Amino acid sequence: MLKNSELKLKDVIDIKRGKKLGYIDDIDIEVENGQVKAFVVPAHQNRLFNFFLKKNDQIIHWSEIRKIGEDVILVELDEDKV
């Protein structure tokens, strides 16, 4: 089992484009059963810009996650989400 703090240290990489998306800022959890629904990656990793640009956050649904490794989280995003 991974802790929230451990997940936030992993790079999130889109494997279709080979692009680093950033780091996880928040986790969406379904309260009734405790399942992770999505990860939130801010559009800008700079905390000052992130405060003003919350609407541009990248939502990565659990179904888009391909692998959670030691250092990275590999995701496969649809063309329209990028």
Question: Domains in the chain and their CATH numbers?
Answer: 4-81 (2.30.30.240)
Check if the beta carbon of residue 12 is closer than 8 Å to that of residue 20: yes
Confidence of residue 80 (pLDDT cuts 50, 70, 90): low
Sheet strand arrangement including 35-41: 26-30, 35-41, 58-61
Q: State the virtual CA torsion across 7, 10, 15, 17 in degrees, nearest 10.
A: 120
Give 14-39 pLDDT, tens digit per residue: 999 999 999 998 999 999 998 999 99
Would you state the pLDDT for residue 5?
86
Question: Which helix (H) or strand (E) covers residue 51, if one does?
Answer: helix 47-52
How far is the C-alpha of 53 from the C-alpha of 1, rounded, in Å? 31
